[in-house]
A and B are shown apart, each in its own frame.
Chain A
C-alpha cells in the first residue's frame, strides 16, 4: 500500500453496499456511451437469441412484453467508480429467453450486441439463475434513451458496461471473445467486488 500524503477522503457516507473503489452517486445517474445515441423505434426493434441454441428465437417488442415480467431491486456499479444504490428495473429475466431458445450443452459464453454495433461478452453463467434482465423500465417508467431506452441488458452484479444499451441480440458461443470495451482495455468479466476493471486485474 502506498499512502498518498495528506489524503483523508470523504468517508462520511461509506455504505457497505459499495464495492471497493466505488462512490455513491446518489440521485445522479451519469451517462457514459461511446457512440451516437440511436433513435431506436420499438416497432422495428427485435431481440434475437442465436448461436449455440436449439432454436434461434426472436421476439418483437410486443412479444417480449408478453413474456413473464420481473424486477430487479438493488445496486448498479460503473467502472468509472460511481455506483447507484437501490435501483428498480423492470423487464424480462434473461432466463426466459434463454430457456425458450435452449442453450446447447457446449455453450459457455454470450456476446450481447446492440443496434449501434456495440458488443460485450459475458460468461453464460452470469446471465442465468435470475441474475440478468432485458430491461424496459427504470423506477417504474420507460427507460430513457440516454440510459439505453427503450431496452437494455441489465447484468447488475457486473460493471455496468456489461449491461449493453439498446440490446438486440444474444449470441451463444463455445468460447470467450472480447466485446467492444474488452478489446479496448477493459476486463473480460468485470466483477466490481473483485475490482476487475481493466485487462490484467
Chain B
C-alpha cells in the first residue's frame, strides 16, 4: 500500500487540533496460546480460518490476533489478523487475504489444514475496539470489513443490531467479504463497478452514502487500505463526524 496517492482529498478537517478521544475502556488482552485449526474455508483470494483457542480471553470486536509461524530451525514470521467472530462464538475466526508473495498469508491459505496447530496471541489492541454499547458507524474497504463484521455479529448477539451501521465498499459483490451478512437495517454495500443487491448504482463510496447514517452515531470505525482509510475518514469528516471520533485502522500488504 505504501503512501498511495489519494483519490481526491475531500474536505480537510477544519481545525488542526482535533484531539483524539481516548476514553476507551481497557481492552482484554491474552497471551500466547496453541490454537487448533477447526475449519478452513476458501472464499477466493483469501482464507477463513476458524480456530479453537484454549483458555481464550474474550475479545472486543475490532481487536486482532497475532499468528506466529515457526520453522524447524527456529525462524519465525508473525502477522496480525482482525477477528471476524463475535465474542460469543466458540471459535476465533480470522479472515486472511492471500497476498501472492506473502510469506504468512500464502502458508495459511495453501498449507494449513484442519487439525493443524498454530501459535496465536490475542486479543490485542484497545483503540480499534467496540464496547458493545456505543452506536457506531463502521466503514470498511475490501477485506477491511473483517473487524467490522465482528462488531455487527456482536450487535446481533446482543439483540441490538441497530447499534452497528456497517458500510462495506468494494469493486464488486464477489470482492466484498461477508457480503451476505451486510444487508437490511442501515447496512450498505457500496460497489464501484456494479449495482449493489440493494439497487445502489455503481459508484465510488461518497458523502451521499454516509450522510444519512451519521446522526446519533458517536464513534466511527474505518478500516481498509491506506488510500481507502484516508478517503473514507475525510468523507466522514465532510458529513459532520468529528475527526476526534473517528478511529482508523489502515493496513497494507504485510505478507
Q: Which residues of B contact A37 (CB under 8 A)?
A: 230, 233-234
Residues B248 and A34 in contact, CB atoms below 8 Å apart: yes
Instruction: Name which of B123-131, B183-191, B201-209, B211-219 contacts chain A.
Output: B123-131
Give the residue name and chain of the B residue nearest to A31 (CB). Answer: B226
* A-contact bits for B115-146, CB 8 A (1 contact / 0 none): 01111010011111000000000000000000
Contacts of A39 in B (CB 8 A): 12-13, 16
Residue pair A80, B18 in contact (C-beta under 8 Å): no
Instruction: Give B217-254 interface residues, CB cut-off 8 Å to A.
Output: 226, 230, 233-234, 237, 243-244, 246-254
Contact B118 A36 (CB under 8 A): no
The reply on B54 being an interface residue by CB < 8 A is no
Cross-interface CB contact of B27 among A20, A30, A44, A185, cutoff 8 Å: A185
Does the CB pair B243–A36 fall under 8 Å?
yes
Across the interface, which residues of A come within 8 angstroms of B250, CB to CB?
30-33
A184 B119 Cβ-Cβ under 8 A: no
With an 8 Å Cβ cutoff, the count of chain B residues facing the other chain is 59
| Residue among A4, A35, A39 with max Cβ neighbours from chain B (10 Å) | A4
The interface stretch among B75-83, B168-176, B192-200 is B75-83
Assess the A44–B16 pair: CB atoms within 8 A. Answer: yes
B159 within 8 A of A: no
Most chain B CB within a 10 A radius of its CB, from A5, A11, A183: A5
The answer to whether B79 and A81 touch across the interface, beta carbons within 8 angstroms, is yes
The number of inter-chain residue pairs (CB within 8 angstroms) is 153
The reply on A40 being an interface residue by CB < 8 A is yes
User: Which residues between 109 and 165 of chain A lie within 8 Å of chain B, taking CB atoms?
Assistant: 115-118, 144, 146-147
Assess the B103–A23 pair: CB atoms within 8 A.
Answer: yes
Query: Which segment, of B38-46, B64-72, B90-98, B150-158, faces chain A?
Result: B64-72
A33 to B233 CA separation, bound complex (whole angstroms): 12
- Chain B residues 4-37 with CB under 8 Å of chain A are 12-13, 16-20, 22, 24, 27, 29, 31, 34
| Residue picked from A11, A27, A31, most chain B C-beta under 10 Å | A31
| Cβ contacts under 8 Å, A25 to chain B | 2
Whether A40 contacts B16 by the Cβ 8 Å rule is yes
A180 to chain B: which residues have CB within 8 Å? 20, 22, 127
The answer to whether A30 and B70 touch across the interface, beta carbons within 8 angstroms, is no
B255 at interface by CB-CB < 8 Å: yes
Q: Is A3 an interface residue (CB 8 A)?
A: yes
Interface of A is mostly: loop
A8 contacts chain B at the CB level, 8 A cutoff: yes
Q: Which residues of B contact A14 (CB under 8 A)?
A: 75
Residues of B within 8 A of A147 (CB): 3
Q: Does A2 contact B (CB under 8 A)?
A: yes
On whether the beta carbons of A31 and B246 are closer than 8 Å, the reply is no
**A25 nearest in chain B by CB position:** B2
Whether the pair B31, A200 counts as a contact (CB closer than 8 A) is yes
Closest to A166 in B: B16
A11 engages B75 (CB within 8 Å): yes
Contacts of B1 in A (CB 8 A): 28, 30-31
Residues of A near any B CB (own CB < 8 A): 1-11, 14, 20-21, 23, 25, 27-41, 44, 80-82, 115-118, 144, 146-147, 180-181, 183-185, 198-200
10 closest Cβ pairs, A-B complex: A117-B19, A184-B126, A39-B12, A28-B2, A31-B226, A30-B252, A36-B243, A117-B20, A7-B69, A4-B69
- Return 9 A-B CB contacts under 8 Å, by A number: A2-B34, A9-B69, A9-B77, A10-B101, A30-B254, A35-B244, A35-B247, A40-B16, A117-B20
